[in-house]
């Protein structure tokens, strides 16, 4: 018993020490984590013998990945962290946002998946509105359900959406004289949001010279334009963050937190909880739609395989790692999950398999070639690790990294009574 206690105190001291070192500054925490991830990627890139352009590209890829997770984890935090809505249909809402934006922006001649050819900003708005409506339609009946039923309904819905997109019957259809379509199993092609990097390089004064300078150092133009898109994604994450922080600290946000803590109490206090839940569900879904388009749809081509239920679970796990209820935690979780658990193992598998012909099956690998087999098959092992980590987190650290900072439903902390106040009360009663 005493051994357990001392172990706990040691752990707590270590955690506080780390906390003091990093400080409570959220931005510093995120920067520190990113710096660590970058150092690791640079080290791995140097080990793999990458030139400078390759290393910069690796850093770009890992940042894009982290930003994509950041957007979606923040949106999910609005549902699960703030309001306690167990939505595991994220993939479906991402798919709606991506596909509607794609169809609206794709020119009628672009195959597969012809569209309306609207300007991209209008298409993005249309995609977000469509996702919000889809969210509303889901939430209207589903929010009356128990949490586990909501989970099953949302995951089933995301599969319905994905299968419908994949279905040949929606691949091309005519609506009011216009031929539209999802492209079915062949996927959909549309103007790539990522191409904005190229447009910025050409139009913004000074960017062209910067690109030339970068090319002289070994960073070629595709990597340079990719970097510009990366900055746009990071800026979007910042916008998401500030919007959600504002919502969270508003009176509206306090009702959301009250719903999470105890819906009955919130409705007893005269709040129409259904309206609040509907609004936040629709808004979170719109953010998911935008996030899906900007991240998974960045290359101008996407198919149904990007929206399988696994991606929902990964976003959820990232949120749990970071700590549900904390926005900074959402970003930290997104970075940690996407880089350390997802990107780095993949990078190792691609660049360090060494052996020219790794064994094709585990049976062949047992006879001496087990290490190359493990390195080439790091993909499945990484998911095993993620699964075990998830179980560990639920058992031991259900709050994740920053879940203890879950914001209170009340505007002031009601957990502790000010000392002087209680003394006054005692004196009064006696």
Partner 1 sequence: MGVAERVWQGRGRISDRLGTILIAVMILILIGDVLSQLLTGVIAVPYVASIIIEGIVVGLAYGLAGIGLSMTYSILSFANFAHGDTITVGAFSGWSVAYAIGGIGSTSFGSLFLLNATPGISIVTSFWVVILGLISAAVITVAVSLAVDRLVYHPIRDAEGISLLIASIGVALTFRYLIAFFYGTSVRGITDPASKVGLFSVNGQIGVGVIRPNQQLAQLTSTDALPAFLELTSTAGPSEVILSMTLHAVVLVVVASLLMLGVHLLLQQTKLGKAMRAMADNKSLAQVSGIPTERIIRMTWIIGGALTGMAGFLIVLNSGTTNFNFGWRLLLYIFASVILGGIGSIYGAIAGGLIIGLVNSIAIIWLPSGLTKVAAFAVLIIVLLVRPEGLFGGVTTA
Name the site residues for partner 1 (rule: CB under 8 A).
Answer: 86, 141-142, 145-149, 151-153, 155-157, 159-160, 163-164, 166-169, 313, 316-317, 320, 360-364, 366, 377, 379-384, 386-391, 394-395, 398
Cα–Cα separations (whole angstroms), residue 390 to 60, 278, 315, 321: 27, 29, 12, 8
Q: How many CA atoms lie within 13 A of 324 on its CB side?
A: 20
> With respect to partner 1, which residue has the nearer C-beta, 165 or 256?
165
Residue length, the chain? 430
Instruction: Confirm if 132 and 282 have CB atoms less than 8 A apart.
Output: yes
Output 85 or 256, the one with its CB closest to partner 1: 85
- Give the nearest distance from C-beta 128 to partner 1 in angstroms: 24
Q: How far is the CB of 280 from partner 1 (least distance, A)?
A: 18
**Smallest distance from partner 1 to CB 408, Å:** 20
Rg over CA atoms, the chain: 24
Q: Which is nearer to partner 1, 122 or 145 (CB)?
A: 145
Q: How many CB atoms lie within 10 A of CB 340?
A: 16
Do residues 63 and 230 lie in contact, with contact meaning Cβ atoms separated by under 8 Å? yes
Residue number, 17 or 388, with CB nearest to partner 1: 388
Minimum CB separation of residue 143 from partner 1 in Å reads 11
Inter-axis angle of helices 90-105 and 120-142, nearest 10: 150
- Taking the complex as a whole, the smallest distance from the CB of residue 155 to partner 1 amounts, in Å, to 7
Cα within 13 Å of Cα(12), Cβ side: 6
Question: Measured from the CB of residue 7, what is the shortest distance to partner 1 in angstroms?
Answer: 17
* Beta carbons within 8 Å of 225's beta carbon, 6+ residues apart: 194, 195, 197, 198, 200, 201, 211
Q: Is 117 exposed, middle or buried (0-12, 13-18, 19+ CB in 10 A)?
A: middle
Least spacing, CB of residue 392 vs partner 1, in Å: 8
User: Six-digit token pair at 275?
Assistant: 């309206």
């Amino acid at each position: 018993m005493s051994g357990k206690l001392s172990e706990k105190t040691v752990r707590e001291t270590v955690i506080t020490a780390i906390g003091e070192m990093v400080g409570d500054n959220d931005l510093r925490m995120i920067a520190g984590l990113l710096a660590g991830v970058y150092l690791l990627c640079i080290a791995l890139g140097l080990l793999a013998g990458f030139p400078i352009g390759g290393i910069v590209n690796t850093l770009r890829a890992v940042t894009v990945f982290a930003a994509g997770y950041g957007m979606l984890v923040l949106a999910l935090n609005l549902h699960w962290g703030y309001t306690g809505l167990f939505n595991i249909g994220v993939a479906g809402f991402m798919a709606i946002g991506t596909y509607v934006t794609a169809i609206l922006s794709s020119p009628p001649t672009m195959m597969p998946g012809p569209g309306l050819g609207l300007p991209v900003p209008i298409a993005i708005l249309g995609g977000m509105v469509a996702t919000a409506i889809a969210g509303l339609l889901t939430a209207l009946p589903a929010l009356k359900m128990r949490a586990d039923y909501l989970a099953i309904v949302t995951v089933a819905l995301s599969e319905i959406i994905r299968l419908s997109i994949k279905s040949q019957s929606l691949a091309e259809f005519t609506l009011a004289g216009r031929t539209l379509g999802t492209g079915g199993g062949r996927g959909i092609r549309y103007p790539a949001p990522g191409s904005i990097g190229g447009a910025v390089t050409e139009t913004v004064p000074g960017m062209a010279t910067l690109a030339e300078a970068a090319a002289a150092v070994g960073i070629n133009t595709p990597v340079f334009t990719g970097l510009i898109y990366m900055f746009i994604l990071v800026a979007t994450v910042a916008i998401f963050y500030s919007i959600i922080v504002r919502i969270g600290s508003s009176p509206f946000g306090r009702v959301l937190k009250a719903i999470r803590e105890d819906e009955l109490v919130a409705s007893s206090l005269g709040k129409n909880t259904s309206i609040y839940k509907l609004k936040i569900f629709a808004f979170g879904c719109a953010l998911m739609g935008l996030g899906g388009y900007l991240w998974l749809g960045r290359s101008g081509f996407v198919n149904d395989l990007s929206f399988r239920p696994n991606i929902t679970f990964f976003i959820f796990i990232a949120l749990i790692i970071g700590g549900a209820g904390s926005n900074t935690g959402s970003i930290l979780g997104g970075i940690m999950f996407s880089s350390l658990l997802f990107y780095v193992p993949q990078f190792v598998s691609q660049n360090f398999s060494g052996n020219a012909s790794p064994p094709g099956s585990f049976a062949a690998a047992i006879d001496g070639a087990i290490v190359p087999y493990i390195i080439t098959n790091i993909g499945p092992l990484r998911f095993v690790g993620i699964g075990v980590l998830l179980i560990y987190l639920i058992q031991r650290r259900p709050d994740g990294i920053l879940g203890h900072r879950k914001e209170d439903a009340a505007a002031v902390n009601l957990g502790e009574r000010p000392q002087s106040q209680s003394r006054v009360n005692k004196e009064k009663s006696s």
